[in-house]
Amino acid sequence: MATFDLTDRRVLLTGASSGIGRELALVLAAHGTRLVLTARRADRLDAVAGEIARRGHPRPATVTADLAQRGAASELAGRAQAALGTIDVLVNNAGGGVGGSQWSVGDHDAAREAFEINYWSPLALTRALVPGMRERRDGAVVNVTSMAQISTWPGFGAYAATKAALGVATETLRLELSGSPIHVLEAIPGPVDTAVQGETRLVPGIDRMLDRIPLGDAKEMARRIVTALERRRATVIYPRRAALAYLLPALARADSRRLAARVAGDMDAAALEGVLSLVVRTGSHGDPAARQAREAWEEAHGRA
């Protein structure tokens, strides 16, 4: 099958202000694409667009949008098409979440917001943009999910469920486009050195699981996603050692159960109950504790 040439492709990239999204913007620009970048933080978006321009590439269009709000994705699709005419490549990278036990989070508003940004917004953008790709018989969809869909942790159930849902939706989309020239790629990050690590490590004991795989580099993750897109691969998993859990999910889940039991046994019962009773919005616009943890990680690691 022919490679997917990115030169002059018109790309909508969500979650472009930091982490993997920021690095994706830089790599895609270097490959000659024309970009619409979107995120919730206008100042960060402007900084990324400015850096791309300073590197000698066309300055991307930027659209500030909060994809945790119902209807924002459909509006974003219209604004992106107004900026570039049509969209050849949709990259659903934006993400957010909620931490807390299943009985604390339940159907809390924070959980519904997590599903909105991680699942419903990608589907809304798919609904808005894939029909045009089908008419033109050309295009690509990249959905960034997570290894959390394979192996979760206490307090991460809602977030993991959003990513599992998007993973299934991605595979279904691929099946529905069988025989079509439109390419579908699922990018599956394991632990990668971004600000997400700050808030993730607020959860007691999770470092025992995460530290088994050395942290990946966001620049390398972005490079691998773009390479996989060009080569029309179905999935890209990084760090590579995380692929073992993807291939053997039953073993990965059994290992998580053993680790979680050890952590629970090591903790004071009152402390454990206090942790599990919390409901914490995560992400760049999350609750103060999550934002503080993200900012501290960024400062300590020199990440944007």
Residues labelled as active-site residues: 159
| Of residues 284, 253, 298, 265, the one with CA closest to residue 68 | 284
Contacts within 8 Å (CB) and 24+ apart, 194-197: 194/18, 194/19, 194/20, 194/218, 194/303, 195/18, 195/19, 195/284, 195/294, 195/295, 195/297, 195/298, 195/303, 196/19, 196/282, 196/294, 197/297
- Beta partners for 98? 281
Give the DSSP H or E segment for 70.
Answer: none
List of residues 6+ apart from 91 with CB closer than 8 A: 11, 12, 13, 14, 24, 28, 142, 144
